[in-house]
A = this chain, B = another copy of it.
Amino acid sequence: MDRRQKKTRKAVFEAFTSLLEVKSYSNISVQEIIDAANIGRSTFYAHFETKDELLRAMCTEIFEHVFSDDLHEESTHDFSSRKKDIVGEITHILYHLNDSRPYIKSILSCESGEMFMRYFKEYLVQLFSGELVKHNSDVPREYMLNHMVCDFAETVRWWMKHEQYSAEDVSRFFFASTPF
C-alpha cells in the first residue's frame, strides 16, 4: 500500500476517534471528519464510501488484532489441551481488547457502539459455536449460543467503562456468571 494512502487512512482514523470522544456518531458529519483529518473531500470518498463504512473499516482493523493469527495458531497447535482452555482463550482475547481500549471506548460511547457490538458478535459466534458440542438439551442450542455471545460481548462493553479491573478479573466474572 502506498505511503500516501496509509498516511491518509491513519489521519482519518485518528480524526474520527477524536471526534467520537467529543460528540456522538450521528452528529458527526463527513465534512467534520475531513476537516479534522485535514484532507480533501474527494480524498475521503476515495477511501471510504460512507461514514458507516469508515466505522466498519475501523472495527475490522481492531478485530483483526483482537482475533489475530497468533491467537488462532496458539489455540490450534496444542489442540489437545484446547477444549478445556476456553478460559485461557477468553483471557487472551481480553488482553488484546485491552490493547485497543482507547479506540474501542470512543466507538462504544455512542450509537456507533451498537455497530461495533454487532460486528464483534459475528466473531464471537465462530468462537463459541465450537464450545457448544455438549450443550444442555433443555434449552435450544441456538438460544445458548446467542446467550453466550451476547453475554461475553456485554461483559466487554461493561469492562471498557470500568478500567479498574484486569483481564483476569473480567474473565473470572464472566465464567462465574455463565453456565459453562
Contact = CB atoms under 8 A, between A and B. Distances in A.
Nearest to A147: B177
Contact size range, A: 20 to 34
A140 interface: yes
Given A136-B176, A173-B139, A177-B143, A154 B150 contact: yes
A21 interface: no
Interface string A165-176: 100000011001
Contacts of A45: none
A60 to B, nearest CB: 19
Interface of A: 111, 114, 136, 138-140, 142-144, 146-147, 150-151, 154-155, 158, 162, 165, 172-173, 176-179
A147 B158 CA distance: 9
Given A147-B154, A150-B154, 4 more contacts: A139-B172, A139-B177, A142-B162, A146-B158
A154 B158 contact: no
- CB-based closest 4 A-B pairs: A114-B114, A150-B154, A139-B173, A146-B158
Nearest to A143: B173
Contact of A158 (B143, B151, B155, B179): B143
